[in-house]
Structure 1
Amino acid sequence: MSKLFELIEAAVRQIPAQQPPPLPPPEELRALTAANDSQRAVQAALPATQPTSESRHNAWTVTLHGKLICRMVGQPMTRSEALATARWRWPEADILED
């Protein structure tokens, strides 16, 4: 058994140590940080979505040419949001009212 450990240790010593990738220069890091900060500022300035009286559901039945193709399940969304999501994948899709 000790011979096995000796062989393993010898093999491990032969493997070169991997170095982490080098960091970009400080100027590039500052530019990336500034770009990220400006993107966050733009997102914070966007108006919040107004709540609607339209009901939200976690699951919607998607049809294509009258045939059921799937149940779309996820975060609560209105019928118009679900239809837009389904039509992103299937342009001629429709949503059944459950």
Structure 2
Amino acid sequence: MKVIWGLGKLLTLVFWLVVLLNLLTPFIYPLHPLVNLAGCLLAGLHLLEALFCYRSLRGRAHPWLDRLNVLFFGVFHLQTLPAPTASKASHA
């Protein structure tokens, strides 16, 4: 399963490189706005993921690094994090 999440991270990184390349040297007309739109939509989704997972990442060793990774990789980074233990998961 780690291979699949790692491959997802790699493909997400390739996507962000394509978006950056499109910003530096715009692609031909039909692709230029579509790549920008896809990049904006994915950035918005990753921002929402980071906001929703803000509290759950608070107890980690490097929470800001984890939040930055969620902004770049989204769910692919969240799935690689270890599950919280029973004592940390129950607050009631």
Higher relative contact order (CA 8 A, sep 6+): 2
TM over 0.5: no
Q: Which interval holds the TM-score relative to the shorter structure?
A: under 0.3
Q: Which structure: larger Rg?
A: 1
Q: Which has the higher strand share?
A: 1
